[in-house]
Every structure is written in C-alpha cells, then in structure tokens.
C-alpha cells in the first residue's frame, strides 16, 4: 500500500544540506565533485546546496584539491567559527559553564562550587548570570550561539526540559528549558549528566562511535549512561541509569533517596567523606581550602595522603564489584569511570580492574576495556555534542518561500 506525503522544496533542500554536512563531518575536507559522487547527486544540486551553506557560514572553502583529474576544485570543510555552543554542567556540588565554537575550541569558561543544601532557585540565578556572560562574550566575537545544553544530576525529563526529581539533592519539578528559551531566545537542551557523559565518550572518546559502552559518572551522586548497539538506552521516561540507588550492601547507611544500602552511599563523595572521617581525616570548612570538597578528595589523593589512598582502595574495589554487575547485564566492549571523582579513581584503577575481572564471567571480561577518565569534562563534551548534532540535523538555511509538491512513497 502506498502512502502520500506532502513535501515542499525547503524540506528536500534541508535533507540534502544535512547529507552534505554529514559527509564533511565524517570525512573532513571534500570538493563539490567528491560530495556529488558520494551522494549520487548532480554537481549542480550540490553547488546550490553548498552556496547556501557558505552564505550562512556553516561551511567554508579551504585549499584546492590537487590530487584528482581535471581542474582542481576548492575543498569544503565545516567552519569552526560559524557560531558558538554553551555547555552547562550542573552537578550536586559544583557548576561549570563553557562556551566553545562549533569546532569545539573553548573560548570562555566559568565554574564555581555550590553550597550544600542550596535551593534550586538560588543555584539557577547564579548559573543564569554565568550564561549571560558567555552569551555576551559570544556576541563580542560575532558568533551566533546555536544553543545551550545543560547536564543535570537526577531524573531528567528531556521533553519538558526539567529536573523531575533529584534523589540526592531532593529537588523536584524544577523547570529550565521553557524559562531559558524565553529568556535567551535560543534552543535549550537538558540531559541527565551520566547520559551526557556517555554521549561525550561516544562522540569524542578514544574510540569515537563505540557501539557498546557503559559510562559511570561518579561524584556526589552516581549514574550510568549505557550504549547498546550504538543506541543510548533512555528507558520509558528517559530515567534509565540510576544505578547509584540500586541495593549494594545489607545493613548499609540510609541514603538520601530514603532507602538503605544504596551503591552511591559507599562509593559516592558522601560515602568517601564518611569513611575518611572514620579514618581520622579532617575536612576543612567549606570555602577555606579554595576548592569544593569533591575536588579536595582528588587533590589529597594525588598528593599521596595515605589515609585518603587507603579509603579510595576500598572504594575502588566496591566500584569494581558493582560495575561487574552492569558488565554482565549489558556486555559492553568498554566501561568508562568518569565524573568529578575520575581523577581520584585513576589512582586505584588496579583495585577497580581486579574486582571487575574477579566478579565478571571470563568470556565477558576477556575482551573488556576498562578506562578511567580523569578530565571531569565528559559531561561538558556530551553537551557540546548534543548541540552540535542539532546543528548537523537542522542547519540554518535561507528562508526561501517555495511551492509545495507531492511525493508518493511506496
């Protein structure tokens, strides 16, 4: 049975433009003739599309292609300075705002620790001021901002663009997308932080495009982003990956979510703080050290503090035991431990790997790659990738008015 669908020429033009951009994204600089040959379109069609993309500066012409037969053609490439992207990492103890160009070069950044038990209104006012500064900097560089993406800890409703519930923070029904789009007049995307971290590794990690991946975001909270066969698993409501609030230890401590013995209570920052206090480590008052308490754990570990390292070895083993359960559930080719405590976890990677490989079935463990990501920027990278993907899928084009036409699809 055939279906009739109405298209106008703008739709076809946009689909062709997306195809051209994807070729440049995947292959780097290409001539018009190379793109036409790859896509099976006429050179005239490609020339018209490229003309529009040049007009809006999303692509640029570079050097001549001297390698082919006949007259050399100018190579085309994505223009890194066609616009800007804003990424916001809103963690439970810290926020960061990063402005990049489309080429992912960092142009401006701001970050600040957050007070414990701060309410969402106070936090968002602080972040809005930072975003306004980023937009002002972008405007001064004559860069159009294509969008903002926020990585948020908790149950994120992506469609509504809000935090539905933060099991650790206790925040509920905190809107963002609607308010920010009204304020800033640009698209706003909202992601769970672990999902954003997985997107960042999938796009920009050591093996871009990896199809089977488990990403663990470890900081004050603990969440997972999981790719299976190249698809990020989100679940029915988009809340998949709340592994920190799965049962881990009988007779464990009470979790902020109300349950007892959750995994995050043992390996999250609050669990590490509790264990360090029991080991005799004294935390300075917040703010007196010039850094927030999550950073402090990493700094003390990196300086070789024996009490901190002893606790982190225990945490590394507990992290590996829980990670093994995820490995046996999803059978990834890579598991990445990232987030704010990634730097500290680098120091106990042997304990993590030992626990993973002892708790995982051999046939699943042998091909597994264990990576500890120390940068703490995975969430930011995922936000950048989210906005960049939106540009590639819906590029700005001239708003020409053209008649509709019908296409029969069988």
> What pTM does this model have?
0.89
The answer to whether the beta carbons of residues 145 and 138 sit under 8 Å apart is yes
Sequence-separated contacts (24+) of 226-233 with Cβ below 8 Å: 226/198, 226/326, 226/330, 226/332, 227/198, 227/202, 227/332, 228/330, 232/195, 232/198, 232/199, 232/202
Q: How much is the pLDDT for 321? A: 98
The answer to whether 406 and 11 are in contact (CB under 8 A) is no
The per-residue pLDDT of the chain, averaged, comes to 89
DSSP 389: H
Work out the pLDDT band at 91, boundaries 50, 70, 90: confident
Confidence of residue 285 (pLDDT cuts 50, 70, 90): low
* 324 or 404, greater pLDDT: 324
Residues 249-272 have a mean pLDDT of: 93
**If pLDDT is split at 50, 70 and 90, which confidence band does 170 have?**
confident
Residue 405, pLDDT > 50, answer no
| Nearest residue to 148 via CA among 112, 111, 176, 186 | 186
Total residue count of the chain as it appears in this document: 410
Per-residue model confidence as pLDDT tens digits over 310-361: 999 999 999 999 999 999 999 999 999 999 899 899 999 999 999 999 999 9
pLDDT at site 288: 41
Q: Is 369 helix (H, G, I), strand (E, B) or coil?
A: strand
């Amino acid at each position: 049975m055939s279906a009739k669908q109405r298209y106008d020429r703008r739709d076809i033009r946009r689909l062709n433009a997306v195809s051209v951009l994807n070729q440049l994204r995947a292959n780097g600089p290409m001539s018009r003739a190379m793109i036409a040959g790859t896509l099976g379109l006429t050179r005239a069609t490609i020339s018209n599309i490229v003309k529009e993309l040049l007009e809006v500066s999303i692509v640029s012409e570079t050097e001549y292609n001297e390698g082919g037969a006949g007259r050399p053609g100018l190579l085309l490439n994505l223009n890194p300075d066609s616009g800007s992207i804003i990424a916001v990492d809103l963690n439970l103890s810290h926020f960061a705002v990063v402005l990049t160009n489309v080429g992912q070069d960092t142009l401006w950044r701001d970050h600040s620790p957050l007070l414990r038990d701060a309410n969402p209104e106070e936090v968002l006012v602080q972040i809005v001021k930072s975003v306004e500064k980023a937009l002002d900097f972008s405007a001064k560089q004559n860069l159009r901002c294509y969008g903002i993406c926020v990585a948020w800890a908790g149950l994120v409703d992506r469609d509504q663009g809000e935090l539905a519930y933060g099991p650790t923070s206790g925040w509920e029904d905190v809107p963002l997308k609607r308010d920010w789009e009204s304020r800033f007049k640009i698209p706003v995307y909202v992601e769970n932080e672990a999902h954003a971290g997985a997107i960042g590794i999938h796009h920009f990690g050591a093996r871009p495009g990896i199809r089977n991946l488990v990403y663990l975001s470890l900081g004050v909270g603990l969440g997972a982003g999981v790719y299976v066969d190249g698809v990020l698993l989100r679940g029915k409501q988009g809340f998949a990956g709340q592994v920190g609030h799965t049962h881990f230890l009988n007779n464990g401590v009470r979790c902020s979510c109300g349950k007892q013995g959750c995994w995050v209570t043992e390996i999250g920052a609050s669990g590490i703080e509790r264990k360090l206090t029991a080991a005799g480590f004294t935390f300075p008052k917040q703010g007196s050290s010039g850094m927030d308490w999550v950073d402090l754990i990493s700094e003390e570990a990196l300086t070789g503090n024996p009490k901190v390292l002893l606790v982190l070895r225990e945490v590394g083993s507990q992290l590996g035991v829980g990670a093994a359960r995820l490995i046996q559930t999803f059978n990834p080719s890579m598991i990445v431990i990232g987030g704010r405590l990634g730097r500290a976890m680098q120091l106990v990677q042997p304990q993590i790997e030992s626990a993973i490989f002892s708790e995982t079935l051999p046939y699943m463990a042998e091909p597994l790659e264990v990576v500890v990501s120390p940068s703490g920027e995975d969430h930011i990278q995922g936000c950048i990738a989210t906005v960049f993907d939106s540009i590639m899928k819906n590029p700005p084009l001239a708003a020409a008015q053209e008649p509709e036409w019908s296409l029969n699809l069988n």
